Amino acid sequence: MRSIDEITDETAWATLLCTASIDVVCSYEDYDNAVWDSETRSYYCLETRKNLEKHLARFGIRIELDRKENNLKIVPFKVILNGDTIRDRFEIDEEEYDEMDIINQERDLYGLCSLDKYEDYLNEELIDSSFMNDIVAKFEKINDLYQEYEDIACIYDEFLSVIRDTEKSNSIKQLVLGMKDIEGFPVPTDINNMTSDEKEEIDLWADKSYERLYKLSEQQGLPDNFEYGDTIEIHNRMETYQFNIGKFSGVVEAGDQEDIPLSIEDGDGNIISKGHVTLTVGYMDFDEDGGAGDGIEDDVEYYYENILNTLENIAEFIEQDIKREKAITDKIEKYSKNKRVQKG
């Protein structure tokens, strides 16, 4: 769901984001290979050719929910196919196309996917798979952690405003005194008589932390779904990882098995975790009398335990970073409050 647009006591309207794989057969007159007769001013040897276009369209639809009757209505919509949606195009050989059509009709009769529809089959299976649900659950966990960085960054920003205020020397002393045990904090030689260089060093320390945390809070969240061929960036405190979902080859025969690779790479391009999706293309054998014999069903299996473990490790690393930063900001808030109480 993209958004809830409007809600009344009786009706609710919402916008859904949809994805559809659409195959379109297009015909055209092949004038480039025809012969022009200047006397009759017409073409001859003009052939009609067909192309099969494979589109992947993303579009929004609006739904209307009757809250009293609990009825759902889809508002009429259009799907526009153009150069942005096309994924592949190839010419159709009429003889091969007719033969393939017969094969696919037989496969459909026995509950098997058409040989030219396995990309759609993979995408449909992926949507409601445990693989999708488990990975997205990790993404949601990491997204929730990203949001915590914003509150932490705001406290660092307040700390910077105190350090940069020349009229708050007592507040600065108290804050610095409370921070002196923090690892990496630039403690002045004499807190009661800090030099301008020492104040600048503290400023740089806080500003560096603020910038890092602010960038983490502002980065784009991880998606709530993904597709074959996607590459998804995941950030933690120190580096950026890439979660790579391989592409389907698009060419299969009955009985084939294809492994679609999954991997997570670190910032240096090293693969730190692997998995794969195995597609089994079903088939049906027939006996001498034309009856159905042995065969196997279409199947998709997901092997992603290592991927899931790596995502959990990334989430735990972020949690540790947040815990460390909160220990610092808790001290900032504590000593800031103490100062305000003393003033009161």
7-33 per-position pLDDT tens digit: 888 888 888 888 887 878 777 787 888
Encode pLDDT of 157-182 as tens digits. 988 888 887 666 777 888 888 888 88
* Contact predicate 260/246, CB 8 Å: yes
- Encode burial over 241-267: b for 16+ CB neighbours within 10 A, e otherwise: bebbbbebeeebeeeeebebebbbbee
Per-residue pLDDT at 340 exceeds 50: no
Token reading at 319: 């949690």
pLDDT at 126: 96
Q: How many other CB atoms are there within 10 angstroms of residue 38's CB atom?
A: 6
Lookup result for tokens 């060093």: 201
Distance CA 186, CA 202 (A): 6
pLDDT at 217: 82
Give the mean model confidence (pLDDT) for residues 319-339: 83
Q: At what angle do helices 130-163 and 196-218 cross, to 10 degrees?
A: 150
Per-residue pLDDT at 247 exceeds 50: yes
What pairs with residue 88 in β-bridges?
A: 54
pLDDT at 289: 55
* Contact predicate 276/122, CB 8 Å: no
Pick the most confident of 32-46, 63-77, 148-162, 261-275.
261-275
More confident of the two residues 98 and 205: 205
Cα–Cα separations (whole angstroms), residue 95 to 44, 47, 103, 138, 169:
23, 15, 13, 49, 88
Give the mean model confidence (pLDDT) for residues 317-327: 92
Give the mean model confidence (pLDDT) for residues 123-141: 95
More confident of the two residues 49 and 265: 265
pLDDT at 160: 87
Nearest CA to 25 out of 57, 51, 56 is that of: 51
Encode pLDDT of 46-96 as tens digits. 777 777 788 888 888 888 888 888 888 888 888 888 888 888 877 766 555
Distance CA 43, CA 58 (A): 41
Secondary structure letter of residue 31 according to DSSP: G
pLDDT at 2: 63
Cα–Cα separations (whole angstroms), residue 117 to 113, 142, 281:
6, 35, 11
pLDDT at 101: 74
Nearest CA to 63 out of 52, 83, 77 is that of: 77
Average pLDDT, the chain: 85
More confident of the two residues 277 and 328: 277
- In 11-145, the DSSP E strands lie at 11-29, 35-37, 42-44, 48-66, 71-74, 86-91
The pTM of the full predicted model, rounded to 2 decimals, is 0.65
What pairs with residue 280 in β-bridges?
A: 257, 299
